[in-house]
Structure 1
Amino acid sequence: MKTHVISVLAGDGIGPEVMPVAQAVLDSACEGSDVELRWEERPWGTDYFRSHGRMMPLNAIDKMADTDAIFLGAVGHPEVPDAETLWGMLIPIRREFDQYINLRPIKSLPGVRSPLANHEGIDLVIVRENVEGEYSAVGGRSGVGTEYAAAYQQAIFTKHGVSRAVSFAAELASERNGDLVSATKSNGIVHTMTFWDEVVAEVAGGFPEVRLTPMLIDALSARLVQSPQSFDVIVASNLFGDILSDIAAATVGSIGIAPSANLNPEKRHPSMFEPVHGSAPDIVGRGIANPVGQIWAGAMMLDHLGHPDLAVDVELALRSVLSSGLSTPDLGGQATTVQVGDAIVAALAGK
């Protein structure tokens, strides 16, 4: 029996509502196999912040370091600034565990309405550099309290950081259709983006089977909403990848179904898996939160842990349920969070 220890951070808002549903689905997927998931609940987040003045305890990273993966629900509360919630939990985890790849698959799902007239056949992956770039902590303010107040934010791009993200993306593209698009803005951001382009070209040149297309971020965004089917793998910096992945999720119908993985590909540290949706405080306690993003993120976790067959089972089960018309209100249905989870468990039992 292979046992994986998973740190569970249900977090805020709808996180504690979708998390147990996803855990039940993953446990069901493992039944009858030689895989067992042992959940270690971590009661950290905004409630912890209110009591302790921080999102996690000082030894949080040490507590999670020996676990096999981190399963995150949602982070954020309207009464607490995002800078506190994100920089107090999400970003430290990503950086302390060197989760330098943010992987976001975007696929058309049966039974899910899209705002696009032509939305069939969307199947792309966004590879986002996840620990440096525009989201650095280097900067500050001057002239505070005067009419000359100013803020400064330093983007950090290293050859090491860009190279490993592009290498991951190129390897992924070589296993798919071979098309790799690089998001850039080198016509306007003269230092970091020209550097990005140079490193991307150098690294992608080592993958002769991959066709590289650099594309300005504005043109890329427009094409992404007009013809998402034309993309295979997109590699982008931290900021560009963050924005593009949410746009892409909207093309297939709802950000509530989108999963993501924060990966340390070499597995020297635990990776973290989370839905893209936020904490959705407007629907907390109503029992209608969409659990698909959390469940799909769990499938990605199973795949990363070395069980691609179980991951496929989960994805096929959730596709089967959605194709039947059963869904939560955000997708036009009437089902509750638990009803959707129960249906996916039933589909797994009948596979």
Structure 2
Amino acid sequence: MKKIKLGVIPGDGVGVEIMPYATQVLDVIAQVHGGLKFEHSWYPWSCEYYLEHGEMMPKDGLDQLSQHDAIFLGAVGNPNLVADHTSLWGLLINIRRGFKQTLNIRHAKQLRGITPMVINPNGFDLIVVRENSEGEYSEVGGRIHSGEDEVVVQNAVFTRKATERAMRYAFELAKTRKGHVTSATKSNGIVFSMPFWDEVFDQVGKDYPDVEKRSAHIDALAAFLVSKPSEFDIIVASNLFGDILTDISAAVMGSIGIGPAANLNVDGSYPSMFEPVHGSAPDIVGKGIANPIGQIWTGKMMLDHFGETELATQLLNIVEDVTEAGIKTPDVGGKATTSEVTDEIVSRIKQLT
């Protein structure tokens, strides 16, 4: 029996509502597999936890999570309770940096039964490989003076090691798919980091002569992602650019509520973390209509991570069967509740036996 020890952090808002359904789906598909079992440990770390304890997670939180094979995260943030920069850096980014989760992988494709927000979707299927440890989200900088003399400096930090790591992962991934990598740049406006990014991309690309490569400026790339997403296979991007592009690609699918993501520790020295793209959605909390697909698809990416690719493919196919049958939450044009969508997915998984 293959056991996967899972650290589960529902987080805030709809994350708390969706997580039990997503873990149920994983448990049921593991039962169908027969040789797989998830062992869950649940952690209540959230904005409410912060209000009670003065921190988003306990000081030994990373030590606790390090005992697991993977982390399954829901959503982080409730700006009505805790400032976003406090909640984000206190939990999500704390885990990403502490566990050296240097790559963020986000998949976007045209799902059957969901109308994409694009005129010419043409069956798009793309993955964004985002450098996840430095770039524009570095902690280098500071503030000095106050009032009209106040000065703020925020430094973007790019290392050759991290930049090349993201690009090599992107090229290797492209070899298993359509064989095309697009680099997100802005070297015509950002005069040091982006020309460096372009140079490394060209150098790494020479090691992959069978993979087509091109660079596109981030502003144009954002427009192309909306107008012609089917032209892309793998996009590799810096931390900030990747963050923006993946919210766009999730929205293009039809709802940001269906986008999955993985934060990967590439050498296995720490657990990787799997989280949906969507936030805590305080506007629909308690209504029972939050879309569970983002969290479930994230679980599919986790199955891929552990080598259960056939099972993962079956799960995503079932999700699409359900959406194609019209069983959808309101954000993607349906009338079903969170539980109704999940129940149908679970029912169809059980039919695999």
TM category (shorter chain) comes to: over 0.9
Distance 2:239 2:318 in 1: 32
| TM-score (normalised: structure 1) | 0.98
Name the counterpart of 1:304: 305
Taking the TM superposition and a 5 Å limit, the aligned residue runs for 1:1-351 are 1-32=1-32, 33-79=34-80, 80-144=82-146, 146-351=147-352
Deviations 1:174-231 (A, max 9, x none): 1111111000001110111111111111112111111110111111111111100000
Distance 1:234 1:120 in 2: 18
* Amino acid in structure 2 at the alignment position of 1:88: G
Structure 2 spans left out of the alignment, 5+ residues: none
Give the Å deviation of 1:78.
2.0
Q: Specify the SS of the correspondent of 2:240.
A: helix
How far 1:268 moved relative to its partner?
1.6
Q: What secondary structure sits across from 1:283 in the alignment?
A: coil
TM-score (structure 2 length as normaliser): 0.98
**SS of residue matched to 2:148:** coil
> How far 1:310 sits from its partner (Å)?
1.6
Q: Residues of 2 paired with 1:262 and 1:313: CA distance?
A: 22
CA deviations 1:135-194 (Å, max 9, x no partner) are 0111111122x2121211010100001010000001001111111100000111011111
How far residue 66 of structure 1 moved from its aligned partner, in angstroms, is 2.0
For the residue of structure 1 that corresponds to 2:107, the secondary structure is strand
Amino acid at match of 1:275: P
Moved more, 155-164 or 114-123: 114-123
Partners of 1:167 and 1:203 within 8 A in 2: yes
| Deviations 1:51-107 (CA, angstroms, capped at 9, x unpaired) | 111100000001111210000000000221111010000001111111111001111
CA apart distance, 1:305: 1.4
Name the aligned partner's letter for residue 304 of structure 2.
D
Matched AA of 1:159: R
SS at match of 2:328: coil
Structure-2 separation of matches of 1:37 and 1:305: 12
Distance 1:236 1:86 in 2: 21
Letter in 2 for 1:258: G
Q: Secondary structure at the match of 1:165?
A: helix
Is the CA contact 1:68–1:270 (under 8 Å) kept in the aligned structure 2?
yes
RMSD: 0.9
Deviations 1:27-50 (A, max 9, x none): 111113200000000111111100
Which letter does structure 2 place at the counterpart of 1:9?
I
| Residue identity in the other structure for 1:210 | V
Instruction: Decide whether the 8 Å contact of 1:102 with 1:128 is kept in 2.
Output: yes
Structure 1 alignment gaps of length 5 or more:
none
User: 1:78–1:281: 8 Å Cα contact kept in structure 2?
Assistant: no
Task: Write out per-residue CA displacement over residues 89-139 of structure 1, whole angstroms, 9 at most, x where no aligned residue.
Answer: 000111111111100111101111122222231101100000110001111
